[in-house]
């Protein structure tokens, strides 16, 4: 009897935790949310949650790192999670309906032709629509929100990390320490085992997977985005020029 009660109690506790997580992180898959969650856990000392119901998508501090010391060993597993991630908006919508605009929202954007090709092997209309739906959700949300461009996070990490920490109300006191360890922490995040998705195989090339696309199809997809989502182009204009290749 007790053996049957424990899983139910654990399930109720997990549901309560999800219901009371204060910040949602949304992105199309393979857009860099693992690295963002790593950063947040490192600075906050609090766990982040993966997609609801996906047991493989664990808090980052539970990954297996190639270092003798877990760089996130200071994260307190018993503390209330600081954020949870999602690739769709249904659960975020239900939380906003229940709790109003007290919920905070973070959107990570990465070149859609890069992250979609990396995730699916090729660009499909349904995936571009999925990507732009997240942009639309972010644009329409009237509560506290923060936009992270993954390419900017790689190019100017200290500036982008400080912006993110300020949004989350986390002290900037340890930024200098993090930046002194930056290269090794990036590598540990990329090579960690136990991730929902494997780490980067592209090194420092932000267009590695995009270059695998048939160059003849990309102009058509650019025009599709421009024609179907004209009011949201300012979010993705950086990705639509030929120079971006």
The 10s digit of each residue's pLDDT in 161-208 is 999 999 999 999 999 999 999 999 999 998 887 655 555 555 567 777
Comparing 68 with 174, which gets the higher pLDDT?
Answer: 174
pLDDT of residue 4: 57
Q: Phi and psi of 179, rounded to 5°?
A: -70, -30
pLDDT at 12: 43
What is residue 146's predicted lDDT score, i.e. its pLDDT? 98
> Does the pLDDT at position 2 exceed 60?
no
- Is residue 74 in a domain? yes
Mean pLDDT calculated for residue range 34-41: 97
CATH of the domain at 139: 3.40.50.300
Tell which residue, 35, 78, 26, 68, has the closest CA to residue 178. 35
Q: Is residue 12 part of a domain?
A: no
Quote the domain boundaries for residue 228.
20-244
Q: Which of 22-36, 64-78, 134-148 has the lowest mean pLDDT?
A: 64-78
- pLDDT tens-digit profile of 76-131? 988 999 999 999 988 788 888 887 888 999 999 999 999 999 999 888 899 999 99
Domain count, the chain: 1
Residue 242 binned pLDDT confidence (cut-offs 50, 70, 90): low
User: Which own/partner contact pairs does 166-171 have at CB distance under 8 Å and 24+ positions apart?
Assistant: 167/104, 167/106, 168/23, 168/40, 168/44, 168/82, 168/83, 168/104, 170/40, 170/43, 170/44, 171/43
The answer to whether 157 and 179 are in contact (CB under 8 A) is yes
Q: Is residue 202 part of a domain?
A: yes
CA dist., res. 69 & res. 71, Å (int): 6
pLDDT level of residue 3 (50, 70, 90 thresholds)? low
Tell me, letter by letter, the H, E, C secondary structure of 52-104: CCCCCCCCHHHCECCCCCCCCCCCCCCCCCCEEEECCCHHHHHHHHHHHHHCE
Express as a percent the part of the chain with pLDDT over 70: 84
Residues 60/41, Cβ–Cβ less than 8 Å: yes
Give how far Cα 125 sits from Cα of 122, 131, 132, 214, 217, Å.
10, 10, 11, 15, 12
- 116 domain residue, yes or no: yes
Higher-confidence residue of 20 and 92: namely 92
Looking at per-residue pLDDT, the higher value among 11 and 223 belongs to: 223
Residue 241 DSSP symbol = S
Which of 148, 112, 118 is CA-nearest to residue 133? 112
Give this prediction's pTM: 0.87
Closest CA to 85 of 31, 123, 132, 131: 31
- Does residue 14 lie within any of the structural domains? no
Statement: residue 15 has pLDDT above 70? no
- Is residue 5 domain-resident? no
Distance CA 197, CA 155 (A): 23
In a domain, 8, yes or no: no
């Amino acid at each position: 009897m007790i053996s049957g009660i424990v899983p139910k109690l654990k399930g109720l506790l997990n549901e309560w935790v999800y219901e009371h997580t204060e910040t949602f992180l949304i992105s199309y898959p393979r857009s860099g949310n693992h690295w963002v969650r790593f950063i947040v856990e490192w600075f906050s000392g609090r766990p982040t949650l993966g997609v609801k119901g996906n047991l493989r998508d664990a808090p980052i501090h539970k990954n297996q790192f190639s270092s003798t010391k877990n760089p996130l060993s200071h994260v307190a597993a018993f503390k209330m999670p600081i954020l949870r991630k999602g690739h769709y908006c249904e659960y975020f919508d239900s939380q906003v309906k229940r709790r109003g605009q007290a919920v905070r929202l973070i959107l990570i954007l990465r070149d859609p032709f890069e992250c979609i090709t990396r995730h699916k092997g090729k660009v499909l209309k349904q995936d571009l629509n999925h990507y732009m739906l997240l942009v639309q959700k972010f644009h329409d949300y009237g509560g506290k929100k923060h936009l992270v461009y993954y390419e900017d996070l790689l190019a100017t990490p200290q500036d982008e990390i400080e912006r993110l920490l300020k949004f989350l109300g986390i002290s900037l006191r340890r930024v200098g320490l993090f930046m002194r360890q930056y290269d090794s922490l990036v590598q540990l995040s990329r090579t960690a085992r136990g991730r929902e998705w494997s780490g980067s195989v592209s090194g420092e090339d932000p267009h590695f997977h995009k270059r695998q696309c048939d160059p003849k199809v990309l102009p058509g997809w650019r025009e599709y985005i421009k024609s179907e989502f004209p009011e949201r182009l300012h979010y993705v204009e950086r990705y639509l020029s030929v120079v971006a290749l």
